[in-house]
A and B are shown apart, each in its own frame.
Chain A
Amino acid sequence: MPDLGTTSGGIAPRHTQRTGLGLQALAGLALVALPVGLLVTLILWPTVRMVTATFLIDGNLSSDRYFAFFNDTYTRANLRYTLEMGLVSAVVALAISFGIALYLRFSAGRIATLIHGLSLFPLFVPSIIISYALVRFLGPNGLFQLMLEQVGFTHYRTPYLTPVGPFLAFVWENIPLPVLVLSAGLSQVSDHAVEAARDLGAKAPRILFEILLPQMRRSLLIAFALIFMGIIGAFTVPYMLGPPAPEMMSVFMQRTLGNLHDPESAQVQAVVLMVISSIVGGFYIATMVKSSEAVR
C-alpha cells in the first residue's frame, strides 16, 4: 500500500517543477522557432537585401534611385493616386462600417442578424470575384446599365474604368473587418453610459460625437490602419478595375518588373510603399499596445 504520508513536501515537487519549467521553456522556443525562422528567412532577410540593393549602384552607396523616383512625374502621380485611393476608400468604408456597427450594437432581432450576415459576407468573397462582379454589374452592357435603360436612361457611362471602379470594390471589400473591430469596440461602451447622456438631456448627435466617437477612437484608428494598409498593397482590384493611368503602386510595380524589366526601379517602388505601410503599421501597433495597457 503506498505511503502517501511520507513524502517530505517541498523538495521533490520543486525539483520536478524546475525541470518542468525548463522543458516548457524549450518546448515554447521550439514552437516559435519555425515561424520566426520562416519570417527571418523569407521576409526579413530578403527585405534587408532588397533595401540595401536600392542604395547600391555599381557597388557604391547612392540615393539616386530615390531621387529618380520622386522626380518622375508619372511615378509621383501613381503614389499620390494610391494614397488618395487608400485614404478615401478607408474613410468611406470606415464610415459605413461604423454605421452598421452602431445599428448592430443598439438593435436586435431578425433584421439586425440579416444585416450582420450581409456585412460580413464580403469577407468570404475573393477579390477577383468582387472585381469581376463589379465589371459585370457596372461595365458596358452590365446589369446596372440594362436596368437604367429599362427606366429610359440611355446616357450611362460606365465608371469601372475610372477611379470610382476600384473605390467601390475597395469599400465593399473592406466593410467586414472594421464592422468586427468596431462592434468589439462598441460593446465596451455600456448601455448605461449612453442612457446617462440621454437622461441628462443629450440628443442622438451629441451622444454620437461626445460619448460614442471619443470612446471608439482607438477602435477607429486600428480599423483605419488595417484597411488603409490593405488597400495600398492590394493588387487584384486595381489590376481589374480603374483607369490605365495613373495606376496604383502595386500594378505599377508589377508592370515595372514584368513589362519594363526594371527590377531596380520596382524595388525602390516597393521600399517606398513599405515605408508608408510601416509608418501606418507602427501607428497601429502603438495603438494596440496602448489598448492592452488600458485593459491592464
Chain B
Amino acid sequence: MLQIDSITKTYQGTHAVRDASFRVARGELVCLLGPSGCGKSTLLRIISGLTACDSGTVSIEGVDMTSSPANRRPTAMVFQSHALWSHMNVAQNVGFGLRVRGLPKAEIAAKTAAVLDLVGLSAFAKRLPAELSGGQAQRVALARCLVVEPKVLLMDEPFSALDAHLRKGLREELKALQGRLDLTTIFVTHDQEEAMELADRIVVMQGGQVEQVGPPGALYQNPSTLGVAQFIGAMNTCTSSLRHGAVDWYGVTLRMPLPDGEVALLCRPEDLSIDPNGAAARVARVIDLGPVTKVNLITETGDLLTWTCPRDQAPDLGRVMTLLPRRLHAFRGGALMGLMDVPLPAQAQGATA
C-alpha cells in the first residue's frame, strides 16, 4: 500500500531522516515511535508531501508520489494542534476538502453530516472551533480528513496536547474507527504506551534512522538495538566486562557464552526474580501502581535496580533481597549480541556440576 524507500532529509548538514525504509500494508495502523527530534514528524511530512525529501521514494499503491505536491497526494493529515480554521464552523471545516474537489453542495452536506455522525459530533456542526473542547476539536480534525476518503491517513501526535484520560478514550475510538473503515494509518507519537496500544506494527526511530520495525510485543520482547531496548518499556542496565564466558552482574558472576569485551546487560523489571544466589540489594522505595508494585532497590555496588512484582509480594522498605535476572539482553556497540533466558550464576552452576 505505502512504501518508503531510503528516504533522507537533511537540514543545514544535519540529518533529520537518514535512509528510512519500511512498508505499510492496506488497513494497517503503523506507529512511528521515537523521542523528540528523532525525525518521525519530518518523515510523516515527507509522506504527506508537505516537506520534500533529499533522496528516496514514497510510493502509494505502487505509484511514485515523491515529487507530487501535498495537494495531489491521496493522503490526509491530522495535526497535533488540530489546525482548525477559526473563521469556519465545524461543518465548514469538515466540508472544506470536498469543496476543493468541486463536489455539489448537496453531496458535500450529506458527506459532512455522515462523517460528523461517525465521530459523534452531529450536534456540533454549527459551532465554531473556539467553542469546542480539545477532544472535540481533534475529532473535527479527524473528520476533516476522513471525509475526503484518503488512501493513507497521517496523524502527527494528534492526542499529545490532551489530558491522559481523554487521550486514552480517543485512542480506543480511533482504533475502533480505523478498524471499521479499514483505513491505512500512520500515527506519529513519542508515547510508547500509546504506540503499544494502537499499533499493528511500530517503526522505532532514533537519530533520524529506523532502528527496528515490528509488532509491539516483538519489539518489547526482542529489541534489536540498545536504543530500542531502552526506549520501549523500562530496563535495568548494567555495563560490565565479559571475560572467558563469565560476566559480573551487580556482584554476581553469570555465565555467558559470548566473545570477551565490554557488554551492556539489560533486564526488564518483571524479569527479575528472588533467588538466594542473586545480587543483594536493599529496598529503597516501594511504589504501588495498582495491578503491580514497582520496587526500587540499591545494590551493593550502589546501582539502582527496579523490580516489579505482584502486590501481595511487595517487600518492606529497607529489606535486603537477592535478585537474579530470568532473561538478559546483551548489547555491544548498541547492537544485540544475545538474549539469554535464565542464565545460571557461575557459583550456582559450579555447585550443581
Interface residues of A (CB under 8 A from B): 190, 192-193, 195-203, 206, 210-211, 214-215, 217
Task: Give B79 Cβ to nearest chain A Cβ, in Å.
Answer: 4
The B26-67 residues at the A interface (CB cut-off 8 A) are 48-50
Q: Which of B48, B50, B83, B145 contacts A190 (CB 8 A)?
A: B83
Beta-carbon contacts of B76-88 to A below 8 Å, as 1s and 0s?
1101110111111
Name the residue of chain B whose CB is nearest to the CB of A197.
Answer: B96
Q: Are B71 and A201 in contact (CB under 8 A)?
A: yes
Q: Which of B50, B75, B148 contacts A195 (CB 8 A)?
A: B50
Whether B123 is near chain A, meaning CB under 8 Å from some CB there, is no
Q: Are B71 and A195 in contact (CB under 8 A)?
A: no
A190 to B129 CA separation, bound complex (whole angstroms): 14
Interface residues of B (CB under 8 A from A): 48-50, 69-72, 75-77, 79-81, 83-88, 96-97, 100-101, 141, 144-145, 148
A214 to B92 CA separation, bound complex (whole angstroms): 13
Q: Which A residues lie within 8 Å of B100 (CB)?
A: 200-202, 206
Q: Which A residues lie within 8 Å of B84 (CB)?
A: 193
Q: Which of B70, B88, B101 contacts A199 (CB 8 A)?
A: B70
Q: Are A195 and B79 in contact (CB under 8 A)?
A: yes
Closest A-B pairs by Cβ, 5 of them: A192-B83, A200-B97, A196-B83, A214-B87, A201-B100
Query: Would A202 and B71 be within 8 Å (CB), given that A193-B83, A214-B87, A215-B87 are in contact?
Result: yes
Q: Which A residues lie within 8 Å of B72 (CB)?
A: 201
Query: Would A199 and B76 be within 8 Å (CB), given that A206-B100, A214-B87 are in contact?
Result: yes
Task: Give A200 Cβ to nearest chain B Cβ, in Å.
Answer: 4
Q: Are A195 and B83 in contact (CB under 8 A)?
A: yes
Q: Which of B69, B79, B86 contacts A192 (CB 8 A)?
A: B79
Q: Are A199 and B85 in contact (CB under 8 A)?
A: no
Q: Which B residues lie within 8 Å of A193 (CB)?
A: 83-85
Q: What are 30 contact pairs spanning A and B, CB under 8 A?
A: A190-B81, A190-B83, A192-B79, A192-B83, A193-B83, A195-B50, A195-B70, A196-B77, A196-B79, A196-B141, A198-B69, A199-B48, A199-B49, A199-B70, A199-B76, A199-B77, A200-B96, A200-B97, A200-B144, A201-B72, A201-B97, A201-B101, A202-B71, A202-B96, A211-B85, A214-B85, A214-B87, A214-B88, A215-B85, A217-B87
Interface centre among B71, B80, B81 (most CB of A within 10 A): B71
Q: Which A residues lie within 8 Å of B77 (CB)?
A: 195-196, 199
Q: Which of A198, A210, A211, A217 contacts B70 (CB 8 A)?
A: A198
Task: Give A270 Cβ to nearest chain B Cβ, in Å.
Answer: 39
Q: Are B96 and A199 in contact (CB under 8 A)?
A: no
Q: Are B87 and A199 in contact (CB under 8 A)?
A: no
A201 to B85 CA separation, bound complex (whole angstroms): 15
Name the residue of chain B whose CB is nearest to the CB of A203.
Answer: B71
Q: Which B residues lie within 8 Å of A215 (CB)?
A: 85-87
- Can you add 12 more A-B contacts, CB < 8 Å, to A193-B83, A195-B83? A192-B79, A192-B83, A195-B77, A196-B77, A197-B96, A198-B71, A200-B148, A201-B101, A202-B96, A202-B100, A206-B100, A214-B85
Task: Give B86 Cβ to nearest chain A Cβ, in Å.
Answer: 6
Name the residue of chain B whose CB is nearest to the CB of A188.
Answer: B86
Task: Give B139 Cβ to nearest chain A Cβ, in Å.
Answer: 15
A45 to B75 CA separation, bound complex (whole angstroms): 65
Task: Give A106 Cβ to nearest chain B Cβ, in Å.
Answer: 13
Q: Are B81 and A199 in contact (CB under 8 A)?
A: no
Name the residue of chain B whose CB is nearest to the CB of A206.
Answer: B100
Q: Which B residues lie within 8 Å of A214 (CB)?
A: 85, 87-88
Name the residue of chain A whose CB is nearest to the CB of B86.
Answer: A215
Q: Which B residues lie within 8 Å of A190 (CB)?
A: 81, 83
